[in-house]
Amino acid sequence: MSAANAIEAVDLRKAYGEDVQALDGLTFSVPAGTVFGLLGPNGAGKSTTVKILTTLAHPDGGSAKVAGYDILDQPAQVRESIGVVSQAGGLDREATGRENLRLQGQVFGMGGRELEQRIDELLEQFRLDDAGKRLVREYSGGMQRRLDVAQGLVHRPKVLFLDEPTTGLDPEVRAEMWDEISRLAGAGLTVLLTTHYLEEADQLAAQLAIVDKGRVVAEGTPDGLKRELRGDAIHVELGSESADEAAVREALARVEGLDQIIYDENRALHARAEDGARTVPAVLAALDGADLEVAAVTVARPSLDDVYLRFAGRTFGEAESVDDRRRTGDEKKEAVR
């Protein structure tokens, strides 16, 4: 493994029961000192990846190193080097914020003045100075989330795992969390962030891997991934019932400069064009000529949603709803929390 990588996962596999293949050969690596995003819909395998890399769960196959230590052979060293903020958080609601941080430090062998100073520092950093003495039960959602992150940092880990750090937060509070997280970058800390918010990955991650059905389908910087798509995204919703894929594709075959055509089950057509504004009239004319009725059309600069569509072959929203239905009751409970 390269010394510059804080995380290296190779061909990770994990199945739950016989039906759910959570990870299906997941491979990626995270350069030290960067914020790396794992982006994918619910059920794509992000949380399972975090559970395996943090030594909580055992992979069925594959290997991984975190902070230079093998997760299977050196789990104790891995645990010493990482901070983990899980989706559930893991706070003791019947204790104060300060007590939570103190216990976390103590299990990492910290104590005395050094620990109390570190706690003061973190409470201040996460704007919880006044709340430190109050029970966590009385905290707002945003405060709890900030304490979650503070808790992951008490022992100054080398690698911080943030599993869906802003799920369930109000947009306003989410923006605040983003500020906190971007401030963490630098100072040598490596952050692995999982999210199903495209915007969040775009904002925070220097590098990202797009995960779908337990595999990495694309990897790169957010801008690089978008640039790779070249050109604008054209989305057309077709009105006529008779619009089957073959007819649509045949109609569009004559349109010049149209690329990467995808036609999904909701009678929506996604394609890319070097110059969207100039291509749209030709597309509409071609569809009209084939008696295919158009309900709506949009042209947009590439977004991460388009990147996802390109590599996973479906839109992000679709993947979310399909995978939601497929998930087990337990995981749903998790997501609600």
Partner 1 sequence: MKALHDTRHMTVRHLMALWRQPWWIAVSLVQPVIWLLLFGALFKSVTDIPGFGSTNYIQFLAPGVVVMTAFFGAGWAGMPVIEDIDRGVIDRFLVSPVRRSSLISGRLASWSLTTAIQSLIIVVLALIVGATFANSVVGVVILIIEAILVGAAFGCLSIGLALLIRKEETLIAAVQFLVLPLSFMSVTFMQKDLMPSWMQTASDFNPLNWAVEAGRGAVTAGPDWGAIAGKTGLLVAFLCVCAFFAMRAFRTYQRAV
- Residue 163 or 318: which CB sits closer to partner 1? 163
Tell me if 133 contacts partner 1 by CB under 8 A. Answer: no
Q: What distance in Å separates the CA atoms of residue 137 and residue 161, rounded to the nearest whole number?
A: 24
60 binds partner 1 (CB under 8 A): no
Cα 13 from Cα 62, distance rounded (Å)? 6
Place of tokens 């918010």: 197
For partner 1, which stretch binds (CB under 8 A), given 80-88, 122-130, 193-201, 270-278? 80-88
**Applying CB under 8 A, does 11 fall inside the site for partner 1?**
no
Find the binder of partner 1 among 9, 57, 198, 229 (CB under 8 A): 57
Rounded to a whole number of angstroms, the minimum distance from the CB of residue 88 to partner 1 is: 3
The nearer residue to partner 1, 54 or 315, going by C-beta atoms, is 54
Q: Does 49 bind partner 1 (CB under 8 A)?
A: no
Query: Is 90 one of the binding residues for partner 1 (CB under 8 A)?
Result: yes
- Does 93 bind partner 1 (CB under 8 A)? Our answer is yes
Q: How far is the CB of 76 from partner 1 (least distance, A)?
A: 6
Angle at 59 (CA atoms; ends 54, 60), nearest 5 degrees? 175
Per CB under 8 A, contacts with partner 1 among 205-234 are: none
Q: Which is nearer to partner 1, 155 or 272 (CB)?
A: 155
Q: Does 254 bind partner 1 (CB under 8 A)?
A: no
Q: Which stretch binds partner 1 (CB under 8 A): 86-94, 112-120, 230-238, 241-249?
A: 86-94
Residue from 34, 42, 86, 166 in contact with partner 1 (CB under 8 A): 86
Choice from 82, 119, 162, 181 touching partner 1 (CB under 8 A): 82
Per-residue contact string for residues 102-131; x = within reach of partner 1 by CB under 8 A: -xx-xxxx----------------------
Buried b vs exposed e over 301-335: b needs ≥16 C-beta within 10 Å?
ebbbbbbbbbbbebbbebbbeebeeeeeeebeebb
Instruction: Evaluate whether 153 touches 105 at the Cβ level (below 8 Å).
Output: no
Query: What gap in Å lies between CA 294 and CA 268, rounded to an integer?
Result: 10
Please identify, using beta-carbon distances, which residue of 169 and 290 lies nearer to partner 1.
Answer: 169
87 in contact with partner 1 (CB under 8 A) = yes
**Sites of contact with partner 1 (CB under 8 A):** 51, 54-58, 76, 79-80, 82, 84, 86-95, 99, 103-104, 106-109, 135, 151, 337
